[in-house]
A and B are shown apart, each in its own frame.
Chain A
Amino acid sequence: MAATQKIRRRRWPFFFLLLVALWVLPPTFLSSPYYLRLVSFGWINAIIALGLNMAVGVAGQINLGQAAFVGLSAYVTAMLIKLVGWTWLPSAVAGIVGTVVAGTAVGWVSNRLRGPYLAIVTLGFNLVFQILLLTQVDFTGGPMGLRVKAPEIFGVKMNMQAIYIVLFGFFILIYMLCRLIYYSKIGRNFRATRDDEIVARIMGVNTVRAKVQACMFSAFCAGVAGVLFLLNYLFIAPAAFTPMQSFRYLAMVVIGGLGNLLGSVLGALVITFIPEFLRVWPGLWDVVLGGSILLVLLLFPKGLGFFGEYLSTLFSQKKIEQRWTGQIRSPGGEQ
């Protein structure tokens, strides 16, 4: 008992410090917009991956069209700002709400469909979305894309540093939200639905509602990320939301470990940063990405879960107990 108390007190300040460091250091020291924007992009992808993981890894729903949800929110926000003249805040809210509605609709309509159907539905949604973006030029700007101006706080335009701080704040929020849901009853329902839907039903879990909730939350994360994407680049084009992008988000989730939240964050950061530094051999990166997905899934079918889990043990109390005392306090070991 005493050992775990000490550990608990010792771990939290470190965690908190790391958070503050990641929040404050980059905008202070990364003076070139290139690095700052890149790191921001990493956090945006982390948000998308987290949301996707909740639906795919935790609730077992195959989503091949996450990029379309991100794009939906980004485009709704941008169109409201540019065409209707709203300011950022209401446009962003509308964008997120719109995406959540779309995600709920997709989740609700396809909730009686099994895996392969859901996969194709989400893929179809992504494809139709692309076509609409490209053809409805009067609304979406078509292939030329849409540019927006940076938002203003009290009349001052937000610069890159301010944008980063806001962005990272949202990332923390979403991560905590994910953890909250994961360890809550809803999260347990998700996992039960994923592991065996029929058994879960027998145990009294409303799997239909669970699946819809998972889609809703995943769309919510995508919606937030879409707004942040627009904020980070102030420019969007249909090319940013293709099925290939959806696959990249899936790759982040898979490499980090399906069902493993911290893993998704790591996977997102890895897939965001590595191609930037692997610029010597253009063309090889995509082969490496695809090949590594394949390898990971063949050799570690649950994704690189063990790596993410190890990292989680650094912060999770239960696992620390497990390591130190060899016993788990509460039944049904989590994670």
Chain B
Amino acid sequence: MASLAVVLCLTIGAVAQQEPIKIGVVQALTGPLSLNGIDGLRGAEMAVRSINRAGGVLGRPLELVVEDNKGEVAAAIAAAERMVYVHKVPVVIETNFSFLINAVHEVYWQAGVPFVCAGTSPVLTQHGNPYLFRIRHNDKLTAQAAVKYAVENMGAKRLAIVHVIDDFGHGARDALINAMRSLYGIEPVAVVGLPLDIKDATGPVMEIAAAKPDVVFVWAHAAQGALFFRTRYELGYTNIPVIGSVVVAAPATLELAGREALEGCMFVGDFALDAPKVSLFNNWYYELYGETILSEVGMAVYDAVCLVAKAIEKAGTTDPQAIRDALIGIEMEGVLRTYYVRSDGETAFELTIGQIKNGKSSFISIVRFPRDIKF
């Protein structure tokens, strides 16, 4: 598709004709998860463009080697192994789906190749894989921040959870319940799972309403979240406050549900559509691809590529082990946040809390966690 052409153009790009440095990108380009995968690939392409325009890495142009994991386990493992054994790239940017990362991380571990993934599940860094780095926040942090805000700033006592039924949603649900228990010793009054292919959200909304919560946490992707928010709005339950993941401020959600449906909803996470950097990114994305960003994965992958480029510069070589060691300790300002790479692979220690007001996402506060926080 267009990606192939773009890769070709990038190599003939604005950098001196030197042997390019290749990094791998594995995303779900086809299959049911392709929405995020295509977005991720575009983010990578954009990063390579801006890096090469600025002179490349170590004076050489950056080049992407792309593989498709099709959203499937066997294909993901095959893609990872291709990266490592056939293409022999020194570092890979992986997908955002935690179950796929679960499947492939051993491949990179055995081969000693560092990779940066975009999943938020707390499980990922618990594997102890020294070559795994994640560019997004650990959902334990968002859960803690959300629960804290609900209880301390909003005085909530009854908390409900709505989550999408996939690795992301389950991880978030567990993190939220753990946060409630460990911080305040309370249990959720309702936990509702949204299937990935949910077509009708009347049930979940009624179930939540029946539990009479003070705050409902919503952790989902755009399609499911938008349906929930829209139904909540249409059935007239906007009196139940919402604190959600970044889905609340995602352009796709706002388009699908309508900004009025999200009015007053709050979010905890890493980006807000109307934040200056995100707006710039969105505009550039629209110029290149003719539509607004599909999800947050594009920006995460963009930041990941920039981080990797920085690591290669710092290491001064394309040796995988050196890159891995160089990653640790890097501080970088990205589109989504400021990153600090820790040896256990975590990079995100600050979160934004925001709210949708008058159809725009407005900033409420930043929550900063100590960089030596234990997960």
Q: Is the CB of B4 within 8 A of A280?
A: yes
Chain A residue at smallest Cβ distance from B127:
A147
Tell me whether A285 is interfacial, beta carbon within 8 Å: yes
> With contacts A143-B99, A282-B1 known, is A37 near B81, CB below 8 A?
yes
Q: Is the CB of B103 within 8 A of A32?
A: no
Tell me whether A154 is interfacial, beta carbon within 8 Å: no
Q: State how many angstroms separate the Cβ of B46 from the closest Cβ of chain A.
A: 19
Q: Hey, what's the 0/1 contact readout for A299-317 against B, CB within 8 Å counting as 1?
A: 0000000000000000000
Segment among A3-11, A50-58, A168-176, A235-243 that sits at the interface with chain B: A235-243
Q: Is the CB of B73 within 8 A of A282?
A: no
Chain A residue at smallest Cβ distance from B71:
A239
Q: State how many angstroms separate the Cβ of A205 from the closest Cβ of chain B.
A: 39
Q: Is the CB of A233 within 8 A of B67?
A: no
Q: Is the CB of B167 within 8 A of A143?
A: yes
15 contacts between A and B (CB under 8 A): A33-B81, A33-B85, A37-B81, A38-B78, A135-B193, A137-B170, A142-B170, A143-B166, A235-B102, A237-B73, A239-B71, A240-B72, A240-B73, A279-B67, A283-B29
Tell me whether B15 is interfacial, beta carbon within 8 Å: no
**Chain A residues, Cβ within 8 Å of B30:** 282-283, 285-286
Q: State how many angstroms separate the Cβ of A308 from the closest Cβ of chain B.
A: 25
Q: State how many angstroms separate the Cβ of A201 from the closest Cβ of chain B.
A: 42
Tell me whether B371 is interfacial, beta carbon within 8 Å: no
Chain B residue at smallest Cβ distance from A131:
B195
Q: Is the CB of B1 within 8 A of A283?
A: yes
Tell me whether B296 is interfacial, beta carbon within 8 Å: no
Tally of contact residues, B, Cβ under 8 A: 36
Tell me whether A234 is interfacial, beta carbon within 8 Å: yes
Measured in the bound complex, the distance between the Cα atoms of B81 and A41 in whole Å is 14
> With contacts A33-B85, A144-B167 known, is A281 near B1, CB below 8 A?
yes
Measured in the bound complex, the distance between the Cα atoms of B70 and A282 in whole Å is 9
Q: State how many angstroms separate the Cβ of B49 from the closest Cβ of chain A.
A: 21
Measured in the bound complex, the distance between the Cα atoms of B170 and A284 in whole Å is 32
Seed contacts A32-B81, A144-B170, A147-B103; 16 additional CB < 8 Å A-B pairs: A34-B85, A35-B85, A38-B78, A41-B74, A143-B167, A143-B169, A143-B170, A144-B98, A144-B102, A144-B171, A147-B102, A233-B77, A237-B99, A276-B78, A283-B29, A283-B34
Residue of B34, B99, B165 most packed against chain A (CB within 10 A): B99
Tell me whether A101 is interfacial, beta carbon within 8 Å: no
Q: Of the candidates B34, B84, B121, which one forms a contact with A144 in the assembled complex, judged by CB atoms under 8 Å apart?
A: B121
Closest 10 A/B residue pairs (Cβ)? A34-B81, A32-B85, A282-B29, A143-B166, A34-B85, A282-B68, A144-B167, A235-B103, A143-B167, A283-B30
- Find residues 267-297 in chain A having any chain B CB closer than 8 Å to their own CB: 275-276, 279-283, 285-286
Tell me whether A26 is interfacial, beta carbon within 8 Å: no
Q: Hey, what's the 0/1 contact readout for B104-136 against A, CB within 8 Å counting as 1?
A: 001100100000000001010000000000000
Q: State how many angstroms separate the Cβ of A234 from the closest Cβ of chain B.
A: 7
**Chain B residues, Cβ within 8 Å of A135:** 165, 193
Tell me whether B53 is interfacial, beta carbon within 8 Å: no
> With contacts A240-B72, A281-B1, A285-B30 known, is A145 near B170, CB below 8 A?
no
Chain B residue at smallest Cβ distance from A45:
B74
Q: State how many angstroms separate the Cβ of B115 from the closest Cβ of chain A.
A: 15
Tell me whether B210 is interfacial, beta carbon within 8 Å: no
Tell me whether B82 is interfacial, beta carbon within 8 Å: yes
- Find residues 232-256 in chain A having any chain B CB closer than 8 Å to their own CB: 233-237, 239-240
Tell me whether B373 is interfacial, beta carbon within 8 Å: no
**Chain B residues, Cβ within 8 Å of A281:** 1
**Chain B residues, Cβ within 8 Å of A32:** 81, 85-86
Residue of A233, A235, A239, A280 most packed against chain B (CB within 10 A): A239
Residues in A lying within 8 Å of B, measured CB to CB: 32-35, 37-38, 41, 134-135, 137, 142-145, 147, 233-237, 239-240, 275-276, 279-283, 285-286
**Chain A residues, Cβ within 8 Å of B71:** 239
**Chain B residues, Cβ within 8 Å of A286:** 30
**Chain B residues, Cβ within 8 Å of A137:** 170
Q: Is the CB of B77 within 8 A of A37?
A: yes
Q: Is the CB of B78 within 8 A of A237?
A: no
Measured in the bound complex, the distance between the Cα atoms of B169 and A234 in whole Å is 24
Chain B residue at smallest Cβ distance from A276:
B78
Q: State how many angstroms separate the Cβ of B103 from the closest Cβ of chain A.
A: 5
Measured in the bound complex, the distance between the Cα atoms of B103 and A233 in whole Å is 8
Q: Hey, what's the 0/1 contact readout for B266-284 against A, CB within 8 Å counting as 1?
A: 0000000000000000000
Q: Is the CB of A145 within 8 A of B99?
A: yes
Chain A residue at smallest Cβ distance from B174:
A137
> With contacts A143-B165, A144-B167, A279-B67 known, is A234 near B74, CB below 8 A?
no
**Chain A residues, Cβ within 8 Å of B166:** 143
Q: Is the CB of A235 within 8 A of B170?
A: no
> With contacts A32-B86, A239-B71 known, is A145 near B77, CB below 8 A?
no
Q: State how many angstroms separate the Cβ of B274 from the closest Cβ of chain A.
A: 32
> With contacts A37-B81, A282-B29 known, is A233 near B73, CB below 8 A?
yes
Measured in the bound complex, the distance between the Cα atoms of B78 and A34 in whole Å is 6
Measured in the bound complex, the distance between the Cα atoms of B77 and A239 in whole Å is 13
Chain B residue at smallest Cβ distance from A41:
B74
Measured in the bound complex, the distance between the Cα atoms of B99 and A135 in whole Å is 15
**Chain B residues, Cβ within 8 Å of A240:** 72-74
Chain A residue at smallest Cβ distance from B193:
A135
Q: Hey, what's the 0/1 contact readout for B54-85 against A, CB within 8 Å counting as 1?
A: 00000000000001100111110110011011
Q: Hey, what's the 0/1 contact readout for B149-173 against A, CB within 8 Å counting as 1?
A: 0000000000000000111011100
**Chain B residues, Cβ within 8 Å of A279:** 67-68
Measured in the bound complex, the distance between the Cα atoms of B265 and A267 in whole Å is 53
Q: Is the CB of B68 within 8 A of A239?
A: no
Measured in the bound complex, the distance between the Cα atoms of B110 and A2 in whole Å is 58
**Chain A residues, Cβ within 8 Å of B121:** 144
